[in-house]
Structure 1
Amino acid sequence: MLERLTPALAAAGDFVRGLNGWRRLGFAFAAGLVSALGFAPFNVFPALLLGFAAVVLMIDGAEPARRIRTGAAVTWAFGFGQYALGMHWIAYAFMVDPVAHAWQIPFVFVFFAALALFQLCAGALAARFWRGRGRLFAFALSYGVFEWLRGHIFTGFPWNIPAYGWGASLGVLQSAAVFGAYGLSLLTVLFGAALADLFAPPPRWKIAAALAGVFAVFFVGGAVRLETAAQTVPGVNLRLVQPNVPQAEKYLRRYKARNWRRLIELSRAPGDPTLIVWPEAAPPFAGLDEQPLALEQIAALTVGRQGLITGAVRVDYLSADKYRYFNSLFVFGRDGKAIATYDKYHLVPFGEYLPYEETLNSLGLTKLTGIDGSFTPGDGPKAYAVPGAGTLTPLICYEILFPGEVVGATRPDWFVNITDDSWFGPWAGPQQHLLVARVRAIEEGLPVARAANTGISAIIDPFGRITHRLGLNQTGTVDGPLPAAIAPTPYSRFGDLWFVLLVCANVALTWLFSKGK
């Protein structure tokens, strides 16, 4: 069989290497589209790996004098294609209020093209050191570093980084407890790049085989880790409320009473929860802490219970005619006693604030949330004690996206992630967001209670396993015990140290393997 397969692989490799001009760019864009199938909700991880292999083959085929330019163009087109399919759901946010925002949808694809500049830089840098088998390590090194940069500069946007291509394998994802999402991403790119050598005549399989062995170890080690039984926190029974309110109806006057009543009725449904969690901006009005009737009803809900947690828009009045808005989370204890107020610190550009607001407003661009001006950021992740339920760290929607940035000075016992994924469309976006929450749980060894307005609401244990969930566009509750935290993981203790070590190792391997042919 191998004898028959080798010529076919070589012919495919010759075809990809032989592409040039617009044919090469078009193929790179198509390879990016196909590679996006590696992410949720498709979870076809070989598509992502083969996408990286295709990029390497196209750079292999470039003329040496034009290799840097080709590397830049190919990886840019690949990144653009991957973002266009993998994150197409961003366009849904502009359809919540189509009269005001639908005309801005083309700018989403301008954003994807700009985001792909990270891939462009990675390809150009790798092509500068494109020699022998060292090119594989140079490609993984540069791609991995620029993915880290994508997650950090210009406020960061680490959505669909390569590590999330392993969403189909919870066993492999357990390696994030050591390497983190960025370290696992670098190794994933290296594995995919190494597959390019299988398309050479004769095929070179040793590096690809070695990396296949590494990921086999990850899978087996993860499977063993997942044999650990989930422990729960005694006396804590969660109820995550999913009201399933369409974003377009959330703040309309004629629906406000209905929306509030739905929250109350779902919270009172049969069962014995000790702690109720509502999603992001759940109350259909701003200034929850200034609404006596609403606070009375929350007090009634928390009689004999540990409390209630909800997202809400908070208004801070600086003077009679000057105020600030915050995307906040309120923690109420027994009998509605106010315990803590947390303000979201990592705001969504163009969603919750508008960079260069005056200039962009003059061009007719506005942010998506319908308040005057921008939200004001809080001051970072914090931990709050809830009597009988340990300490929790709130993460509002987008904040759970950032590896290594979800724990403040004090390690909590659990995360509460409240979100309104109705902005993310009816399919891919919410599933990708859920996977991100699962990886944060694995990295930190902490459970996540995730309450989403339209779904997916879930209780996630510290191994990333979903113990209870309610699917998209369903109205109801998720009731279940709070999983217990495990001992701090290597990633929670050392952060991206393993990523730095992998970067250093790839620098050395680039030099070592570039000496050969």
Structure 2
Amino acid sequence: MKTLAHRVILASGWRRGLMAMAAGAIGALAMPPFGFLPALVLSLTPAVWLLDGSARDSWGRTLKAAAIVGWLWGFGYFVAGLWWLGAAFLVEADQFAWALPFGVFGLPALLALFPAFGFALSRSLWAPDASRILALVFGLTISEILRGHLFTGFPWNNLGLALGQNLWLMQSASLVGLYGLTVLAIGIGAAPALFGTGRNGRERRTAPGTAAAVLVLMAGFGAWRIPSAPLPHVENVRLRLMQPNLPQDAKFNPGNREAIMRRYLTLSAAAGSDGKGAEAATHIIWPESAFPFLLHRNPASLAQIAALLAPGTHLITGAARMDDPLPGEAVGKFFNAIQVIDDKGTILGSYDKVHLVPFGEYVPKFLDALIRAVGLRQFVHIPGGFEPSEKRATLTVPGLPPVAATICYEAIFPGEILPDGPRPDLILNVTNDAWFGNTPGPYQHFSQARLRAVEEGLPLVRAANTGISAVVDPYGRVVKSLALGAEGVLDSDLPMPIRAPFHVRYGMFVLTATLLICLMAGAARRSRQMSLPI
């Protein structure tokens, strides 16, 4: 281990760069669907050694060398973890295939700026002892928080998700949330670096031993927290989730509207595993962007839905909607919405998406003119793209408790999915991951939505066009699910919520205190070493 560490520390040139990218790429194996937890160690332990080898003859050059290593590590991590984004460029290959390299390599190149900053920040607190593990925890966690918030935010595959997949380990999210798991994941993954570079036997044992003990404690806490029996369910609620498994190119074509509607109606009415059809459901749920037309302006389709629904049954469906145009406007504003429809075909209410996907659902205004000048547009076929809702609001559905509605990747943002005001009793997520086919993307998306249930102490109901559709209880247990690529319906009761977890009440305080401790410990040790070019 010591020999390996020294080889990494002393590496230079292209070998050093290749090591950094390889270490980052290995880290992606810790993410869904692989969930290979030792990949954290194989990724973050070399990162410590590479930062050890970033010492130069001046402070500025040292930080620059650390930032370069961080960028290369991040580039490897994001390419290996997000390569599946390229599938979206092939849905309409004649228009977007040329841009595939920009999606597969361009976005990772931009995202890698965050770990570049994180590595440089860590290196500014570096000392030649165990405190440098805390320095990396601080710097890399700060960069992950920034990635989740700056420029609309993109916390996809946050490092904490590595600990947020196993049922026992994910229970710690109820205490510290996703970013608290990030702190733990970085510390656990980086601590074994001291096996090869510890200054003495005690240091070589203490940090890795502490990391192992934390992992065991997390698993023990999770095993203790999860009740042995299923949760009670909400009375008089029977859900039916419909997963049509439609390819994305079919959903784009308005000429398929009748075929799509027939498929939805036929599937929704089909006999489930209990032999009962739509008449047994109190609420039928369809996925995001269910129609290649405006449902609220199509009375014939609303009449078909009314004919499907038994008395007292309601449909909850994703659907684009358009406001009436203002004076002087040719068309109104479009919104990516969830709509609630009763058994008479009346739309009772809507939730409009707040957190839109840049370039997917809209083009940032400062780039709009340039993109249109070269004949490009966003992926969705909406004139001008969607408009975001101004604020998150509770969705009211007759017969259901208050609903925290999320559309597509809104569910990946920790702490941002609940509306202001009274606490809702369930999280609803409708999505369409057909863009990405049978790749790791849909598995990653589901895992992140599932973790929100644990953080918030609320059940998750998720309807996805191609999967993964599921009902998840507040402990992250999958009550029922439909696999990726399956077509069918899922009938389920609705689990009850639990008391707001510790994280909901005190999580930000715990995270802030933890990061301050890491900062102060790293700064204190660094200040004693200022005379040494570590």
Deviation string, structure 1 residues 125-149 (Cα, Å, up to 9, x no partner): 1111211322211111011011001
* Aligned match for 1:61, one of 41, 46, 53: 53
Deviation string, structure 1 residues 3-59 (Cα, Å, up to 9, x no partner): xxxxxx112112211211221011100111111100011110110232111111011
- The structure in which a higher percent of residues are strand is 1
8 Å CA contact 2:316, 2:338 repeated in 1: yes
> 1:111 maps to what in 2?
107
What SS does the corresponding residue of 1:158 show, helix, strand or coil?
Answer: coil
Give distance in 1, aligned partners of 2:255 and 2:347. Answer: 29
What SS does the corresponding residue of 2:323 show, helix, strand or coil?
Answer: strand
| Structure 2 residue identity aligned to 1:141 | F
* Aligned match for 1:387, one of 386, 394, 398: 398
Give distance in 2, aligned partners of 1:130 and 1:59. Answer: 9
- The offset of 1:216, in angstroms, is 1.2
> 1:313 maps to what in 2?
320
* Aligned match for 2:418, one of 407, 416, 420: 407
8 Å CA contact 1:44, 1:168 repeated in 2: no
Matched, 1:509 2:513: no
> 1:141 maps to what in 2?
138
- The offset of 1:256, in angstroms, is 2.1
8 Å CA contact 1:76, 1:117 repeated in 2: yes
Give distance in 1, aligned partners of 2:88 and 2:430. Answer: 18
- The offset of 1:512, in angstroms, is 4.5
> 1:352 maps to what in 2?
361
What SS does the corresponding residue of 1:322 show, helix, strand or coil?
Answer: coil
> 1:328 maps to what in 2?
337
> 1:127 maps to what in 2?
123
Matched, 1:278 2:286: yes
> 1:221 maps to what in 2?
221
8 Å CA contact 1:303, 1:335 repeated in 2: no
* Aligned match for 2:190, one of 172, 183, 193: 193
8 Å CA contact 2:303, 2:345 repeated in 1: yes
Give distance in 1, aligned partners of 2:179 and 2:417. Answer: 15
Distance change (3 Å), C-alpha of 1:155 and 1:335: same
* Aligned match for 1:41, one of 33, 39, 45: 33
8 Å CA contact 1:246, 1:422 repeated in 2: yes
Give distance in 2, aligned partners of 1:30 and 1:455. Answer: 31
Gaps of 5+ in 2: none
8 Å CA contact 2:406, 2:430 repeated in 1: yes
> 2:170 maps to what in 1?
173
* Aligned match for 1:17, one of 6, 9, 17: 9
How do residues 202-351 of structure 1 correspond to structure 2 at under 5 angstroms?
204-229=204-229, 230-270=231-271, 271=276, 272-285=280-293, 287-319=294-326, 321-351=330-360
Deviates more, 1:47-56 or 1:447-456: 47-56
Matched, 1:431 2:439: no
* Aligned match for 1:73, one of 46, 65, 68: 68
Deviation string, structure 1 residues 242-280 (Cα, Å, up to 9, x no partner): 011100011324422111101111111122221100000
- The offset of 1:364, in angstroms, is 4.1
Give distance in 1, aligned partners of 2:507 and 2:285. Answer: 29
8 Å CA contact 1:454, 1:475 repeated in 2: yes
Deviates more, 1:439-448 or 1:385-394: 385-394
Deviation string, structure 1 residues 179-221 (Cα, Å, up to 9, x no partner): 1101110221122221111112656121221122122111111
Give distance in 2, aligned partners of 1:278 and 1:439. Answer: 22
> 2:160 maps to what in 1?
163
Distance change (3 Å), C-alpha of 1:200 and 1:460: same
Give distance in 1, aligned partners of 2:233 and 2:75. Answer: 43
Deviates more, 1:442-451 or 1:184-193: 184-193
What SS does the corresponding residue of 2:235 show, helix, strand or coil?
Answer: strand
| Structure 2 residue identity aligned to 1:403 | P
8 Å CA contact 1:43, 1:167 repeated in 2: no
What SS does the corresponding residue of 1:88 show, helix, strand or coil?
Answer: helix
- The offset of 1:100, in angstroms, is 0.6
* Aligned match for 2:466, one of 454, 466, 476: 454
8 Å CA contact 2:430, 2:463 repeated in 1: yes
> 2:97 maps to what in 1?
102
- The offset of 1:178, in angstroms, is 1.2
* Aligned match for 1:478, one of 469, 490, 505: 490
Give distance in 1, aligned partners of 2:212 and 2:252. Answer: 51
What SS does the corresponding residue of 2:2 show, helix, strand or coil?
Answer: helix
Give distance in 1, aligned partners of 2:78 and 2:194. Answer: 26
Q: How many residues align?
A: 508
User: Under a length normalisation based on structure 1, what TM-score does the superposition of the two structures give?
Assistant: 0.95
Give distance in 1, aligned partners of 2:337 and 2:228. Answer: 35
| Structure 2 residue identity aligned to 1:33 | A
Give distance in 2, aligned partners of 1:501 and 1:362. Answer: 49
- CA-based RMSD of the aligned residues comes to 1.7
Matched, 1:84 2:79: yes
Distance change (3 Å), C-alpha of 1:12 and 1:364: farther
Distance change (3 Å), C-alpha of 1:63 and 1:494: closer
Give distance in 1, aligned partners of 2:308 and 2:448. Answer: 31
Deviation string, structure 1 residues 324-379 (Cα, Å, up to 9, x no partner): 11111101245444321111010000100111211222244421112221210012
8 Å CA contact 2:482, 2:490 repeated in 1: yes
